[in-house]
Amino acid sequence: GESVGLHLPTLSVQEGDNSIINCAYSNSASDYFIWYKQESGKGPQFIIDIRSNMDKRQGQRVTVLLNKTVKHLSLQIAATQPGDSAVYFCAETPWGNNRLAFGKGNQVVVIP
């Protein structure tokens, strides 16, 4: 859902369970999407990316799904670990564009 100011949507997940984080984007011209992870006090860290000619891409324990019809992006984390606790941002841009537009972030809290 929407977040305002300090209140981020928060997903609490048991260690070992799978996590799904969702993101809606608005720019129809965007054709490149990235998920970033941000731990407290650190900069955004690249997780996985996908171009619009694909609807699914897998990495190590992570999968990104893209639904261009409804402008929706999701990140799935398999077997969530305590180190996955962070804020996750989706970002979008037209391919080759200079500026990423970040979403508002989703907090993931992993319960040991």
Q: How far is the CB of 67 from another protein (least distance, A)?
A: 20
Smaller CB separation from another protein, 74 or 97: 97
DSSP line for 53-108:
T-SEEE-SSEEEEEETTTTEEEEEESS--GGG-EEEEEEEE-TT-S--EE---EEE
Q: How far is the CB of 29 from another protein (least distance, A)?
A: 14
Smaller CB separation from another protein, 20 or 95: 95
Which tokens is 56 given?
Answer: 């699914």
Give the Cα separation of 107 and 86 in Å (integer): 6
Smaller CB separation from another protein, 79 or 109: 109
Which residue ranges make up the site for another protein (CB under 8 A)?
Answer: 5-8, 32, 34, 36, 41-46, 49, 89, 91, 93, 95-96, 98-105
* The pairing of beta strand 72-77 with beta strand 106-111: unpaired
Q: How far is the CB of 87 from another protein (least distance, A)?
A: 10
